[in-house]
A and B are shown apart, each in its own frame.
Chain A
């Protein structure tokens, strides 16, 4: 495993530019991802945060090339080490999948084939990309199971997925993803289906493996605890659009977009005591077929009256750079946004450097 960080155009390992994913349906065009851009370096972790239907999983599957291009319109660029995966042939992307980029999923039980042993599924993953014998692949599989912390890997390798615990299954998924030493790992809600104690172990394992392999990780989650634990950078998505993007410090301590504020405020906190109520975001996420004309968050935003001329209803806000490496999609002025953040989150807010 080479540790020197190889980079593509613009010096970024992964460069997602204006990614759009649309699904034509009988009810109309579903704009699942609408112009998302971000970059990622090796050894770094990017968290994509948002509610169900915000487009975070669709984004990650578009990077992996897992959408059927016949049923989804995909445009923009996904540049991995200088190669644009969107422009690449299906076969070209397939060869990178599981090798250069790998993915682990939310529910490890349903994500493993119930009829094949763990070993068979791991051996298969090795042999797609490496020209080795079954025995050699099996040795690799056992070594990797050992590496991800599965006890007695030489016996566990012959177990079926249903014979393992939830945490063990997710370790198997991680082992499967790492077999071919990928440099990009996408983890789609990797801990959501697991017990809390197991969640911490899995996150530790991912960070540990990231150090060893110098992997770039994209973690998709709605759990801000996972974000705080793992991420270097955060992308907040809402209604298929990127609404705020910054370092993990920016997002937790200097958030500016009302939706991000809402996410943070709806998180339970031990230091607030039980008497203080949680502060949920009112309303429901928008339909991706009939998005609001102006700002996607407008129907649920309590601060739209702070913007003159009803701009939130008519004009789609652009992504603006509010501080170095911190972007926000909101019509309010920076002063108003920061004042609201202080009001909502109080002591948690840090002064902008």
Chain B
């Protein structure tokens, strides 16, 4: 088991390195000059050249990449002579555009994204899974058909549509909630909930719709299994058959899906964050692309990918705990 984890961690690091390389190369061929972005309109070629040198952009590409990777593990120093700036490990680079370390920017964006993702996650798991189980137990009846119809609608509605409709009616027209302005839940819990309620709902609708279907189908598959018939043949009550034998096996695959979906969202929910102007990683990602802020793009990509890869590992380890047939070797 520990050997398995070590191997997974090594392959994880290799995967991330490869990923940074691809992103790095992709953006190096873009026709934008990062050094040009470091100062405003009244910039002289001399200043640009100096900045280019200070940021190491005049070095060969392979060396830039090497410095970047080195920065993640041991930190790096920009500039030379008296004008130096040191970026401590893990240094994901320095945003010329924003005049800030990428690590700092991501750290600033993370709380909003974290709260958005976990709040929505709790909502959609509670609603999606319980409604999915309910539909499975009423298979073929009108309740099941209604749930599946609602799920199809929820799944088909794009989140930018639901988001804008809710924003327009609930906040702008009827003024049921104040205009969203993110505050930390530790600072002002009431304002926090007022701001996050709609983003949570928007994000949760899409996922809940999907989880209803997933849960229903998993439960129906499980309830059709031979071991469920055995459980009934033992004389167990229907309640125990479903709770102890059905749910245990039926919900296991949901763990995998939920882990990966949560990890994906921790890398930023771009559309929802943008609609409700939440200062999260999703908004940061959009802005970084608009500004061609290369170091920031690479940094966000790396962090997002790390979440997903780590979540994959955790889910696999969890699976070995849940399902005795899974042995990690």
Residues of A bordering B, CB below 8 Å: 64, 66, 94-99, 102-103, 105, 107, 110-115, 117, 124-125, 128-129, 160, 162, 173, 176
Given A66-B232, A97-B232, A113:B237 Cβ within 8 A: no
7 pairs of A and B residues whose beta carbons are closest in the complex:
A98-B235, A97-B235, A110-B226, A98-B234, A111-B226, A113-B227, A160-B324
Q: B235 near A112 (CB under 8 angstroms)?
A: no
Query: For the complex, what is the distance from the CA of A173 to the CA of B324, rounded to whole Å?
Result: 19
Q: List 14 A-B contacts (CB under 8 A).
A: A97-B235, A98-B233, A105-B229, A107-B226, A110-B225, A112-B230, A113-B230, A114-B323, A115-B252, A115-B323, A124-B244, A129-B235, A160-B324, A176-B230
Task: Give a binary string over B256-289; 1 marks a CB under 8 Å from any A CB, 0 the rest.
Answer: 0000000000000000000000000000000000
Given A110-B225, A111-B227, A114-B249, A176:B325 Cβ within 8 A: no
Residues of A within 8 A of B233 (CB): 64, 66, 97-98, 102-103, 105
Q: B236 near A124 (CB under 8 angstroms)?
A: yes
Residues of B within 8 A of A160 (CB): 324-325
Query: For the complex, what is the distance from the CA of A105 to the CA of B232, rounded to whole Å?
Result: 12
Residues of A within 8 A of B245 (CB): 113
Q: B235 near A94 (CB under 8 angstroms)?
A: yes
Task: Give a binary string over B73-107; 1 marks a CB under 8 Å from any A CB, 0 the rest.
Answer: 00000000000000000000000000000000000
The secondary structure that dominates the B interface is helix
Query: For the complex, what is the distance from the CA of A113 to the CA of B230, rounded to whole Å?
Result: 9
Which of B226, B248, B323, B325 counts the most chain A CB atoms within 10 A? B226
Nearest-CB residue, chain A, relative to B245: A113
Which of B227, B229, B230, B234 is within 8 Å of A128, CB to CB? B234
Q: A125 near B234 (CB under 8 angstroms)?
A: yes
Report the minimal beta-carbon distance from A135 to chain B, rounded to whole angstroms. 20
Find residues 171-196 in chain B having any chain A CB closer than 8 Å to their own CB.
none
Residues of B within 8 A of A162 (CB): 324-325
Is B16 in the interface zone, CB < 8 Å from A?
no
Query: For the complex, what is the distance from the CA of A98 to the CA of B232, rounded to whole Å?
Result: 9
Nearest-CB residue, chain A, relative to B232: A66
Is B292 in the interface zone, CB < 8 Å from A?
no
Q: B323 near A128 (CB under 8 angstroms)?
A: no
Nearest-CB residue, chain B, relative to A97: B235
Nearest-CB residue, chain B, relative to A120: B244
Given A94-B235, A97-B233, A128-B234, A115:B249 Cβ within 8 A: yes
Nearest-CB residue, chain A, relative to B233: A103
Nearest-CB residue, chain B, relative to A112: B227
Is B231 in the interface zone, CB < 8 Å from A?
yes
Is B61 in the interface zone, CB < 8 Å from A?
no
Is B322 in the interface zone, CB < 8 Å from A?
yes
Residues of A within 8 A of B323 (CB): 114-115
20 new A-B contacts, CB < 8 A, other than A111-B226, A114-B324, are A95-B235, A98-B236, A105-B229, A105-B230, A105-B233, A107-B226, A110-B226, A111-B227, A112-B230, A113-B227, A113-B230, A113-B245, A113-B248, A114-B323, A115-B322, A124-B234, A125-B234, A162-B325, A173-B230, A176-B230
Query: For the complex, what is the distance from the CA of A120 to the CA of B323, rounded to whole Å?
Result: 15
Q: B249 near A128 (CB under 8 angstroms)?
A: no
Query: For the complex, what is the distance from the CA of A239 to the CA of B5, rounded to whole Å?
Result: 56
Nearest-CB residue, chain A, relative to B324: A160
Residues of A within 8 A of B226 (CB): 105, 107, 110-111
Find residues 203-261 in chain B having any chain A CB closer than 8 Å to their own CB.
225-227, 229-237, 244-245, 248-249, 252
Residues of B within 8 A of A107 (CB): 226
Nearest-CB residue, chain A, relative to B235: A98
Nearest-CB residue, chain B, relative to A103: B233
